[in-house]
């Protein structure tokens, strides 16, 4: 996967309510952010929405003395933006970092990096590695390692972290992480346990057998670290074995249970046969009950509604039900693609980006103050209990947004949504770059209470 292109941005902090954690409708934060990596979120929120991790080329902290992408964390209570891609001694990194993810309380941040002075292991740091940083102690732990803390001998990235920070799922093309490696330099998904430092492969069939072919990528992890979902072209079940015999492998979504060792296919056709298109970029709710993913297959949804473009599907792990989540306001097919899914803790709310114009209301909400006129990607939130969709990006602005927004992240309550956008904050913002927006949405009847977000809530790492 190529390292993302970046754009330099200046910084503005907006305060539109008495506390950044109030439920006011307008966007409450904007910070510099690099361009979104296709299919992944550029920003990540802590469970209570207090902390937002992102990457930036701009020097937003005096400790940032390099000219590369760095990991930052925004504290929405204090307004402070702190550099996190630092050595244990507090020095700037000597290489780019990307894909930051936060533990539930914001204490731990994991990310991929090519900076050699951030790597506590041994070996040649020619490949990106995954590290975990304790934001309280400043301690760095190498996640992508083999025996004796050797650096992974191949590309490693796309980390995802459990709520308590103990487990980290990531993908890697390395061959020295867990022996034997039956598919060589093809990508696999691994699970790191900070309790004992172990790394084990989870992109395996039930029973632990690793296929000799296929790539497994883009993991996501449940809050307790037990369930890991990922995309794979490897023959991990009967259907995928038959698909692997064809001329071109088909990407499917699987769920691995780290306790039972079982691996289950999530992207399943409604008639039990193989999907007729690829499925990819899954995410899982923190409670492990629901999985959302992108697919172009037209035979997945049990209710018969399967669009031909990239669409989002929601799977109930306990009930086994798969349904189309990105629907038009009238229940039919949307008139555009949908990508970048993110789920609230219980899976009720799904945030994503889409260039469709008929998700919230028919005909692009023409004639209303919520008209979708820009023909580019916007960020939406769907209430999966009711099916109602609401546009998040630009919804509180007085003028329409004419620039794309993507890479959504959502907090546990489903009320705080962070995303990146190239929309200028005002007439003085002349740089055509991506910036970080945080939107606090109003509560709805039946919502879980928003987690407290203040100086005494969860972790408050000393800075």
User: Do the domain assignments include residue 77?
Assistant: yes
Sign of CA dihedral 322, 326, 332, 335: negative
Angstrom distance (rounded) from CA 274 to CA 387: 27
Residue-wise pLDDT for 306-320, tens only, equals 788 999 999 999 998
Percent residues over pLDDT 90 in the chain: 61
Residue-wise pLDDT for 211-243, tens only, equals 999 999 999 999 999 999 999 999 998 776 666
pLDDT band at 271; cut points 50, 70, 90: confident
User: Do the domain assignments include residue 293?
Assistant: yes
Percent residues over pLDDT 70 in the chain: 82
User: Do the domain assignments include residue 462?
Assistant: no
Measure the CA angle with vertex 458, ends 454 and 463; round to 5°: 75
Q: How much helix, strand and coil, in percent to the nearest 5, is found in the chain?
A: 5, 35, 60
User: Do the domain assignments include residue 11?
Assistant: no
Residue 5 reports pLDDT greater than 60: no
User: Do the domain assignments include residue 133?
Assistant: yes
User: Do the domain assignments include residue 100?
Assistant: yes
Element (H, E) at 241: helix 238-244
Write the burial class of residue 99 (CB in 10 Å: 0-12 exposed, 13-18 middle, 19+ buried). buried
Q: Domain span at residue 276?
A: 27-440
| 205 close to 211: Cβ distance less than 8 angstroms | yes
Number of domains in the chain: 1
Residue-wise pLDDT for 89-116, tens only, equals 999 999 999 999 999 999 999 999 999 9
CATH number at residue 73: 2.120.10.30
Per DSSP, the three-state class of 327 is coil
What mean pLDDT is predicted for residues 401-409?
91
What is the pLDDT, as a whole number, of residue 24? 36
Mean pLDDT of the chain: 84
User: Do the domain assignments include residue 221?
Assistant: yes
What is the pLDDT, as a whole number, of residue 40? 38
Angstrom distance (rounded) from CA 39 to CA 37: 6
User: Do the domain assignments include residue 460?
Assistant: no
Angstrom distance (rounded) from CA 237 to CA 205: 7
């Amino acid at each position: 996967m190529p390292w993302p292109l970046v754009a330099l941005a200046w910084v503005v902090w907006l305060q539109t309510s008495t506390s950044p954690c109030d439920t006011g409708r307008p966007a409450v934060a904007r910070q510099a952010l690099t361009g979104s990596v296709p299919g992944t979120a550029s920003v990540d929120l802590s469970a209570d929405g207090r902390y937002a991790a992102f990457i930036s080329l701009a020097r937003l902290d005096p400790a940032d003395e390099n000219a590369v992408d760095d990991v930052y964390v925004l504290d929405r209570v204090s307004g402070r933006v702190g550099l996190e891609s630092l050595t244990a001694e507090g020095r700037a990194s000597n290489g780019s970092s990307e894909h930051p993810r936060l533990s539930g309380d914001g204490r731990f941040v994991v990310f991929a990096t090519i900076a050699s002075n951030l790597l506590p292991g041994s070996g040649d740091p020619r490949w990106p590695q995954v590290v975990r940083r304790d934001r309280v102690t400043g301690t760095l732990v190498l996640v992508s390692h083999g025996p004796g803390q050797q650096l992974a001998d191949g590309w490693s990235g796309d980390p995802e972290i459990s709520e308590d920070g103990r487990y980290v799922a990531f993908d890697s093309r390395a061959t020295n992480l867990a022996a034997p490696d039956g598919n060589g330099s093809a990508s696999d998904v691994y699970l790191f346990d900070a309790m004992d430092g172990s790394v084990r492969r989870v992109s395996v069939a039930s029973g632990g057998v690793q296929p000799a072919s296929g790539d497994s990528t883009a993991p996501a992890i449940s809050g307790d670290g037990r369930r890991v979902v990922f995309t794979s072209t490897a023959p991990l079940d009967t259907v995928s074995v038959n698909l692997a015999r064809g001329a071109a492998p088909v990407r499917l979504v699987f769920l691995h249970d780290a306790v039972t060792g079982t691996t289950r296919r999530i992207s399943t056709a409604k008639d039990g046969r193989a999907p007729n298109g690829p499925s990819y970029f899954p995410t899982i709710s923190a409670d492990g009950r629901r999985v959302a993913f992108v697919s172009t297959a037209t035979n997945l949804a049990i209710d018969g509604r399967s669009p031909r473009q990239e669409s989002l599907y929601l799977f109930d792990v306990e009930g086994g039900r798969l349904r189309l989540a990105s629907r038009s306001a009238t229940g039919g097919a949307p008139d555009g693609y949908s990508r970048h899914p993110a789920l609230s803790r219980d899976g009720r709310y799904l945030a994503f980006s889409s260039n469709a114009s008929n998700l919230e209301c028919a005909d692009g909400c023409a004639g209303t103050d919520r008209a979708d006129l820009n023909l580019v990607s916007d960020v939406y939130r769907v209430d999966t209990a009711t099916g109602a969709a609401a546009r998040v990006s630009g919804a509180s602005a007085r003028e329409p947004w004419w620039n794309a927004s993507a890479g959504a992240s959502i907090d546990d309550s489903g009320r705080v949504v962070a995303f990146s956008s190239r929309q200028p904050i005002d007439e003085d913002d002349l740089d055509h770059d991506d910036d970080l927006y945080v939107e606090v949405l109003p509560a709805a009847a039946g919502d879980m209470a928003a987690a407290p977000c203040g100086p005494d809530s969860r972790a408050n790492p000393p800075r």
